[in-house]
A and B are shown apart, each in its own frame.
Chain A
Amino acid sequence: MSDPTLSELDLNNDSPLRDNILITQVDKLINWTRRSSVWPMTFGLACCAIEMMATGASSYDIDRFGAGPFRATPRQADLMIVAGTVSHKMAPRVKRLFDQMPEPKFVIAMGACTVSGGPYIKHGYHVLKGVDRIVPVDVYVPGCPPRPEALLEGLFRIQEKMERERILDRERKGARPKLLVE
């Protein structure tokens, strides 16, 4: 019996070959390496940035989960933690930096302001009401500001999301969240 070629493998349906034991082990290995070294981008905008710094500092130490090196450039980062209020003046820069990140990339919306506008939702004419209007958000961490433990929990949810990835699922069907357009 000759091995079927890749084109003959019906990978997009629920065929048993998709969960072939060889590929799942490769999936597990790659996902383990990815989630053990999630490198965030320094994107502290406002008060939540201070709690993000506290998470990176000695008492809460995000480095023990592999997410210690905060990269300043988006080209080397896996994760964009949008920490702080996004104003309309800043929004195009957020979008541009997100676009510059290479795949696979994830976004944590940290703090009430990035989730939905926070305390500025009613009278803030210059505040973007939630960063999910311009970039797709994977995990929302509410709080004003969220405790460092809450941010770490958000990081764990991102790691769980990474565990569910498959290398053969190139388009990551359903994995990329939607933008809020209402």
Chain B
Amino acid sequence: MSSDPVLTVPAAPSAGDLRTEEMLLNMGPQHPATHGVLRVVVRTDGEIVLDCEPHVGYLHRCFEKHCESVTVLQSVLYTDRLDYLTAMGNNWGFCLAIEKLFGPELVVPERAQYMRVICQELNRIASHLLAIGTYGMDIGAITPFLYCFREREKILGIFEAICGQRLNYNYIRPGGVAYDWDDRMVGMIKDFCGYFRPKVAEYDDLLSENEIFVRRTADVGVLPLATAIQYGCTGPVLRGSGVPRDLRKDQPYGIYDRFTFDVVVGKGEKGTVGDCFDRYICRMREMEQSISIVEQAINALPGGEYRSAKIKGKIRPPKGEAYTRIENSRGEVGFYVVSDGKEVLYRLKCRSPSFHNISVIPEISRGSMVADLIAIIGSMDIVLGEVDR
């Protein structure tokens, strides 16, 4: 019986038997929680992350080459597909750069300015809804995802009414916007303002006070302020680390200086300042601020032209170079445009916030567990379309 391999009791393992070398774990590019085609090569010691290296470029769609080959008006639709969750913002940033080249002779009408602000803030809400919903899903809570998409569908319905598209709008054009609004669309936006406010309280109940969610996000992925600035982080990632840096207040573009709203900053409510929970709560509170801006704007919407009469037909920006930035949901989106007077630009460079937010992930995830790495990546709220361009 002692020679029977099944019935013989094996000897207890000694310390020499246990293999404790490091392991290289490959996350992605196809992965349910990397928010797109991101590949992270993680060096782990058991469950602890020793180091990780993000690899990007799996969605490189040659945006900058396209903008050197097609006309200015056609480039607008390629800017949509950069950060496809806040396409209005990208459109606006690009149009601001073109309008800067035109200088003071090109005046965007008042009505168009208000329409731009409303579209941008509604898009910010839609983007944050998706960010919060998918972040809950990453952590393990599936229900907020369904609730957030219910609200998101209302916003997408508004966008479909005003420009015909649910996702890649191509709506904000140089000189104004593409189409005018009628009373039905204004009514839809006003209804949405009244509908949305109580919903944020629902999400708070579901997530912000949820013990499991708080335990998984508080004190995880703490991003010190100096590191955030060194790596060029902006948006809720930077504001989560405690500074109220928001381009809508620091360098207002459009008509943002006419609206009253607060800049939400991470305070370390549940843990340390700059942890994942702070970034999440910044997005949650920013939705409230955004709906307040939409209310102020829709109640003050003037009549008039929706597009500047100066830009009609072919757009030939004057020769020159300009760099403009706007505050998008993920941070600062910058467009550096070089024009030599033709219909086709000479060079367009897009500076995207997610590019920087990913680069800081290795810095803040050392020593955390693999599950925490997922929470950190989700809290950065990245969109690979603008990382890879």
Contact = CB atoms under 8 A, between A and B. Distances in A.
A58 B134 CA distance: 14
A106 interface: no
A85 B58 CA distance: 9
Nearest to B154: A59
B166 A46 contact: no
A44 B167 contact: no
A49 B156 CA distance: 15
Interface in A105-129: 119-120, 122-127
A144 B77 CA distance: 11
B30 A125 contact: no
A123 B384 contact: no
Interface in A57-86: 57-59, 70, 72, 84-85
Interface string B82-100: 0011000000000000000
How extensive is the interface on chain B, given as a class?
35 or more
Contacts of B167: 47, 50-51, 145
B84 A46 contact: yes
A84 B134 CA distance: 18
B66 A123 contact: yes
A50 to B, nearest CB: 6
A150 to B, nearest CB: 11
Contacts of B168: 47, 144-145
B385 interface: yes
Contacts, number: 102
A17 to B, nearest CB: 44
Contact of B84 (A50, A87, A93, A124): A50
B142 to A, nearest CB: 10
Contact of A87 (B30, B32, B58, B85): B58
A23 interface: no
A58 B145 CA distance: 9
A90 interface: yes
B169 to A, nearest CB: 11
B81 A47 contact: yes
B232 interface: no
B153 A59 contact: yes
A89 interface: yes
A9 to B, nearest CB: 43
Interface of A: 42-47, 49-51, 53-54, 57-59, 70, 72, 84-85, 87, 89-90, 93, 97, 119-120, 122-127, 144-145, 147
Interface of B: 29-32, 36-37, 57-62, 65-66, 69-70, 77-78, 81, 84-85, 130, 134, 145-147, 149-150, 152-153, 156, 166-168, 384-385, 388
Contacts of B77: 119
Contacts of B61: 46, 85, 87, 120, 124, 126-127
B57 A89 contact: yes
Nearest to A124: B62
Contacts of A127: 61-62
A42 B29 CA distance: 11
A85 B82 CA distance: 12
5 tightest A-B contacts by CB? Answer: A57-B149, A47-B84, A72-B32, A90-B58, A59-B153
Nearest to A85: B61
A125 B29 CA distance: 20
